[in-house]
Amino acid sequence: MTIHKLDASGLLCPMPVIRTQDRIAELHAGDILEVQCTDPGAANDIPAWCRINGHKLVGIQQYENHLMVVIEVNNT
Amino acid sequence: MRIAASYDSLQYGKIPSPFFNKEQNPCMARQIRAVSLISGGLDSLLATRMVQDQGVHVEGINFYTGFCVEGHTHAIRQKDRARPKRNNALWSAEQLGIKLHIVDVIDEYKNVLINPRHGYGANMNPCQDCKTFMVRKALEWIDTHDFDFIITGEVIGQRPMSQRKDTMPVIARESGAGDRLLRPLCAQLLPPTLPEREGWVDREKLLRLNGRSRKPQMAMAAKFGFEEYAQPAGGCCFLTDEHYSKKLVDLWQARGDRDYELDDIMLLKVGRHIRPAPHYKLIIAREEGEGRFLEGYRKRYPALQVVSHTGPLVLIDGDASRADIELAARIAARYCKGRDAEQVTVEYRAPGMQETVALQVSPLPTSDIPEDWYV
């Protein structure tokens, strides 16, 4: 398992999802991707993308100025 | 009962989905597959469901041009912060239980917007070229991913430019998709397509919707159990908006060039735009959320911030002289709580400057801001 980071700060819907989607396409099952976002909509959009594309949402951590969405990549 | 697929289907290793049974036909390649253009609106939701119900494997595709209405304004404005935010295309895909592929086409779309073969609609919307472009991109996708046909939720007569009986065949032809483009909601009013002729879908189960009424679609949504959906009449593109289009044209005229970056078209969606002179304009935050959004552009644009009173952040787009900056500061002061004060302190800082410069200005009276300065 490898942890990868993606900074999607400053990007608005749907760019955080697109960046997440494109990055996950490069990863392997079991990898973890931590996505940093400032768009509050990402807290809904990225989990929705995970659900429909079969990846596991590990969690969302809310910080003062950003949120961190953590995803475990599955085989799809 | 129809038994055999056509020769073409057998040749390509596909069989009509009603007859697809992997156990009985282990040597047959696979289930028929279609990609559906999912806008997040009701029509694409229904069109997809109709084809799914005929046993076709469907995945969704959504193309992001940069001009999407939803999401941005809700994410930016303070008053919208409490509204639940969702990407409607993702939501549609989840309702349908299908994968969704969101494709960034910002760069490729520039040529569609700048040089539309079929021109613009009422504003800067190149709808016919846009749909052709998206169908062409979908065609590239199905050919790369070994899918069989494309679905859209188009309805004849629904939209004044792209969804007309005369333009829809042009879109199919010019995109290259031809008869691999299926419009389930009005298929019976159009010539049969490949999926219909091959028996991959039953034409008799497709519809013949026509016109601008939304009632049939709303009835279908109820029948399928879709209790909520995005505004059914569309309006999902900023290019159909008169005010946005005006700002876009102003940007092009001021620069003498139609090229743009994503940040340019994002900034057109935010703030009050005032152009005191051809060589520069001001982008004035109208509320707290817009101010926070514009903060992110301080590294790229000179900025003015009223500090003596509560007031907006103002970005300067263009090459402003010292006199221009002082005028801009007076305009910024006009939009702060000290608009009736004798003097307001405004701080100016350009990218690369180590320190801010404080300007003491008198707010510009509203009557001194000509109407034609407002973009």
Q: Interface pTM (ipTM) of the complex?
A: 0.93
Contact B152, B44 (CB under 8 A): yes
- Most confidently predicted of B39-43, B159-163, B305-309: B305-309
Domain extent listing, chain A? 3-72
Cβ–Cβ contact A40 with B under 8 A: yes
CA distance B321 to B314: 16
- Does A10 sit within 8 Å of B70, measured CB to CB? no
Domains of chain B: 32-238 (3.40.50.620), 270-373 (no CATH)
Given A39, A45, A54, which is nearest B90 (Cβ)?
A45
Return the axis-axis angle of helices B127-145 and B106-114, rounded to nearest 10°: 140
The answer to whether residue B9 scores a pLDDT higher than 60 is no
Q: Which CATH class is domain A3-72?
A: alpha beta
How many CB atoms neighbour CB B187 within 10 A? 23
CA distance B296 to B273: 17
- Does B70 sit within 8 Å of A48, measured CB to CB? no
User: Residues of B with CB below 8 A from A40's CB?
Assistant: 75, 81, 85
% of chain A beyond a pLDDT of 90: 84
pLDDT of residue B286: 94
- Does B98 sit within 8 Å of A52, measured CB to CB? yes
| Cβ-count burial B68-84 (b if 16+ within 10 Å, e if not) | bbbbbebbbbeeeeeee
Residue B252 token pair: 């092009």
Q: Where does B146-268 have alpha helices with state H?
A: 168-175, 194-197, 215-224, 242-255, 262-267
Which of B254, B253, B299, B296 is closest to B271 using CA atoms?
A: B296
- Does B70 sit within 8 Å of A52, measured CB to CB? no
The answer to whether residue B208 scores a pLDDT higher than 50 is yes
Given A13, A45, A52, which is nearest B99 (Cβ)?
A52
CA distance B59 to B35: 5
Residue B218 token pair: 């709303």
CA distance B178 to B191: 11
Given A17, A51, A54, which is nearest B94 (Cβ)?
A51
| Angstroms from A20 CA to nearest CA on chain B | 10
Tell me the β-bridge partners of A56. A72
The answer to whether residue B25 scores a pLDDT higher than 60 is no
